[in-house]
């Protein structure tokens, strides 16, 4: 049986607030979701001059699922990622763990944070 995950991504700013959702297979722990899924989302957000570009690319590429599909899923692990645009802060949660990530994480820093979750 393949491990499944659900990841909600919340983006908040003075001008915008929204949430979208990802479902996938292959990762069944918060550590793995942070290392292999959420880290990619964080790095993609960091590389865009405006979060709107990230959102449009994500929606255009059809990577996300609807809220109802997300709510009906029965994943092995549920995680969340929050990006406070105005304060340039990322927060990740999975299971009983919540970690503040900061504003300019690198891929190696994200992997280290993920390792600390286990």
Q: How many CA atoms lie within 13 A of 74 on its CB side?
A: 0
Task: Give the pLDDT confidence of 64-105 residue by residue, as tens digits.
Answer: 899 999 999 999 999 999 999 888 899 999 988 899 998 888
Q: Which two tokens stand for residue 92?
A: 């990740």
Phi, psi of 5 (to 5 degrees): -135, 155
* pLDDT score for 90: 92
Task: Give the pLDDT confidence of 30-47 residue by residue, as tens digits.
Answer: 999 999 999 988 888 888
Q: Which two tokens stand for residue 61?
A: 């590429």
Cβ atoms of 43 and 115 within 8 Å: the answer is: no
d(CA 46, CA 53): 11
The tally of domains found in the chain comes to 1
Element (H, E) at 101: strand 97-102
- Per-residue pLDDT, averaged over 3-23, amounts to 90
Q: Residue 98: which domain range?
A: 4-117
Using the structure block, give the residue that is written with the tokens 């959702």: 21
């Amino acid at each position: 049986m393949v491990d499944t995950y659900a990841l909600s991504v919340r983006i908040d700013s003075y001008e915008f607030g929204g949430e979208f959702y990802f479902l996938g297979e292959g990762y069944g722990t918060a550590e793995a979701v942070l290392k292999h899924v959420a880290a990619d989302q964080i790095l993609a957000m960091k590389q865009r001059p405006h979060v709107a570009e990230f959102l449009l690319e994500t929606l255009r590429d059809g990577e996300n699922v609807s809220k109802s599909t997300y709510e009906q899923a029965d994943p092995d692990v549920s995680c969340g990622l929050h990006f406070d645009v105005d304060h340039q802060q990322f927060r990740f949660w999975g299971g009983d763990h919540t970690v503040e990530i900061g504003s300019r994480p690198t891929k190696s820093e994200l992997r280290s944070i993920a390792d600390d979750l286990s």
